[in-house]
Amino acid sequence: MKIVHAASELFPYIKTGGLADAVGALAIALADSGHEVSVFLPGYRAALEHRDAAEAVSKLRLKIELGDQFVSGEVRAFSPRKNLTIYLICREEYFDRRAPYGNGERDFEDNAERFIFFCKGVTETLRLLDIQADIVHAHDWQAALLPLLVRETERRHGVTLALKTVFTIHNIAYQGLFPGVKFGLTNLPDELYNIDGIEYYAQVSFLKGGILFADRVTTVSPRYAQEIQTPEFGCGMDGVVQTRVEDLSGLLNGVDNSIWNPSIDAHLPARYSAADLSGKGACRTELLKRVGFDVKFKGPVFGMVCRLTEQKGVDLLLENRDFFLNEDVRLIILGSGSKRLEDEVRALTAQAPQKITLTAKLDEAMSHLVEAGSDFFVMPSLFEPCGLNQMYSQVYGTLPIVSRVGGLADTVIDTDENPATGTGLMCAPTVAGLADGLARALRLFADRERYAAAQQRAMARDFSWTRASRGYEELYRDAL
Ligand code: ADP
Ligand code: GLC
């Protein structure tokens, strides 16, 4: 099949979260099973500076209609492996910036322009290079207008760009909501600015476009596919999602085992496997040393790697500060994001700098070390579409403590509820729930045999993308 993806993040070129890992690994898995895969990405500074992009060639000059003006741009392309082409939709004014979405706390003022330009850049490339896609697969709000724009471009020019379109919701909390006046920039027919179109309470909703107009809609776990149909998790889109239940499915992400694999991980001081865990001890020592803790510490080390946002349950962790202050444990957090959460976590570390620490930056290498060197991985998310770190931690023999929501509930098995199969601990997404999970973690750690058995089971699980990508192949075939 000829499969075209469009997303705002793609590992290793630009990443702020799991979207980059998921799209990157899915594209590779599909390319490796013989499909002809293209991925469209905005021409961010970081992507253009990546060494692979040195090979990029200019494919096309773009003239994109945005409302009543035409805006120019360029398409650059390179091929990092067989069957895979990356197209960068470039325009310096929009994408030559330090970060993809905003500066610190604030989103860029021109995000509507930037991502409409991106989506239209994709349709123009499909049209002018006559790519003839079987599937156009758009991810998250930044690419959500694409299914609609594909059909609109086909109508205007009397051509076929794609046989079927697919839209994946990686996180329904981010919707691409903009003032109604921005609708003009889409150049879509006026009748689409209403309740059955992309209007949402007098604003334009990009996400709604993806949900309503793609041939198939997916999200990244079966449980989240159910949750987003409810007011509790739907973030105001539950009614819209309900109109598509027939075409909605939840397909779990996987783990790219060429990147997240303790037996070959070059970010680690020592490598290890389920059969020989000695290298994990060396990783733990290195982690404790890296953050300035006593390397002889014998108790449990709790690790956490995340964007510091409310989604990740950082407040639940903060409310459980007494556990980390009073028990003989260590807490190592790698995360950046919201200033409020960063300040509050930092205030907590100041109360016990010898046992609680925050590294407030994006650090790919350290994220691997925290996964490998911790005994437990804490992920008390309030909601979690899929979540990757709880899978990474199982692969690394680090038992996850997670909330019973979304993809976390679909990928972790509680050891107390299922003594024979458990691979981690699952708790209610509340302060008391996490408190209970942490207390149970202490008991599990004290029982070396039980801990080691759970660790072996965790490391034996198959989270591979080979499995995960098969679900998408089936979905594409079925749609076609
Ligand atoms: P989300 O996409 O909601 O952020 P996921 O669990 O799906 O959550 O994916 C998060 C990804 O981002 C993981 O690969 C994780 O290691 C990475 N990550 C999060 N914060 C950091 C950080 N501060 N430094 C490095 N990697 C990070
Ligand atoms: C989003 C979600 C996360 C998911 C990732 C990749 O960022 O928050 O749960 O794992 O997308 O699909």
pLDDT in tens, the chain (480 residues): 999 999 999 999 999 999 999 999 999 999 999 999 999 999 999 999 999 999 999 999 999 999 999 999 999 999 999 999 999 999 999 999 999 999 877 999 999 999 999 999 999 999 999 999 999 999 999 999 999 999 999 999 999 999 999 999 999 999 999 999 999 999 999 999 999 999 999 999 999 999 999 999 999 999 999 999 999 999 999 999 999 999 999 999 999 999 999 999 999 999 999 999 999 999 999 999 999 999 999 999 999 999 999 999 999 999 999 999 999 999 999 999 999 999 999 999 999 999 999 999 999 999 999 999 999 999 999 999 999 999 999 999 999 999 999 999 999 999 999 999 999 999 999 999 999 999 999 999 999 999 999 999 999 999 999 889 999 999 999 999
| Best mutation site among 220, 256, 307, 381 for ligand 1 pocket (most ligand atoms within 8 Å of CB) | 307
| Cβ(22) – ligand 2 distance below 6 Å | yes
85: CA distance to ligand 1 center in Å? 25
Q: Which ligand is nearest to the CA of 218?
A: 2
Six token digits for residue 210: 């993806």
| Cβ(17) – ligand 2 distance below 6 Å | yes
Q: Which ligand is nearest to the CA of 360?
A: 1
| Cβ(410) – ligand 2 distance below 6 Å | no
What backbone torsions phi and psi does residue 346 show, to the nearest 5 degrees? Answer: -65, -40
The minimum-distance atom of ligand 2 relative to the CA of 220 is 12
The minimum-distance atom of ligand 1 relative to the CA of 335 is 23
Q: Which ligand is nearest to the CA of 406?
A: 2
180: CA distance to ligand 2 center in Å? 28
Range of the domain at 301: 278-462
- Is residue 406 in a domain? yes
**Are 240 and 285 contained in the same domain?**
no
| Cβ(220) – ligand 2 distance below 6 Å | yes
| Best mutation site among 23, 235, 379, 386 for ligand 2 pocket (most ligand atoms within 8 Å of CB) | 386
270: CA distance to ligand 1 center in Å? 22
Contact 421, 413 (CB under 8 A): yes
- Is residue 182 in a domain? yes
Protein residues with CB under 6 Å of any ligand 1 atom: 17-19, 21, 305-307, 334-336, 362-364, 367, 386-389
| Cβ(20) – ligand 2 distance below 6 Å | no
Six token digits for residue 185: 């920039």
Contact 333, 324 (CB under 8 A): no
70: CA distance to ligand 2 center in Å? 34
| Cβ(391) – ligand 2 distance below 6 Å | no
Q: State the pLDDT at residue 103.
A: 86
**Are 247 and 336 contained in the same domain?**
no
**Are 429 and 471 contained in the same domain?**
no
242: CA distance to ligand 2 center in Å? 21
- What is the distance between the alpha carbons of residues 353 and 358, in angstroms, rounded to a whole number? 9
Q: Whose CA is nearest to atom 3 of ligand 2?
A: 387
**Are 250 and 310 contained in the same domain?**
no
The minimum-distance atom of ligand 2 relative to the CA of 406 is 9
466: CA distance to ligand 2 center in Å? 18
**Are 326 and 454 contained in the same domain?**
yes
170: CA distance to ligand 2 center in Å? 5
- Is residue 117 in a domain? yes
Stretch (H or E) spanning 349:
helix 339-351
The DSSP annotation for 394-450 comes to HHTT-EEEEESSHHHHHH--BTTT-TTT--BEEE-SSHHHHHHHHHHHHHHHHSHHH
**Are 242 and 381 contained in the same domain?**
no
- The count of domains in the chain is 2
Q: Residues 6 or more apart from 130 whose CB is under 8 A from it?
A: none
**Are 287 and 397 contained in the same domain?**
yes
**Are 296 and 245 contained in the same domain?**
no
| Cβ(394) – ligand 2 distance below 6 Å | no
293: CA distance to ligand 2 center in Å? 31
**Are 48 and 90 contained in the same domain?**
yes
**Are 328 and 192 contained in the same domain?**
no
Six token digits for residue 123: 């349709």
Q: State the pLDDT at residue 438.
A: 98
Q: Residues 6 or more apart from 237 whose CB is under 8 A from it?
A: 172, 175, 207, 208, 211, 228
Q: State the pLDDT at residue 105.
A: 76
- Is residue 270 in a domain? no
- Is residue 267 in a domain? no
Contact 248, 211 (CB under 8 A): no
**Are 435 and 472 contained in the same domain?**
no
For helices 448-459 and 431-446, the axis angle rounded to 10 degrees is 110
184: CA distance to ligand 2 center in Å? 31
Q: Which ligand is nearest to the CA of 368?
A: 1
**Are 193 and 321 contained in the same domain?**
no
93: CA distance to ligand 2 center in Å? 28
CATH number at residue 191: 3.40.50.2000
19: CA distance to ligand 2 center in Å? 6
| Cβ(18) – ligand 2 distance below 6 Å | yes
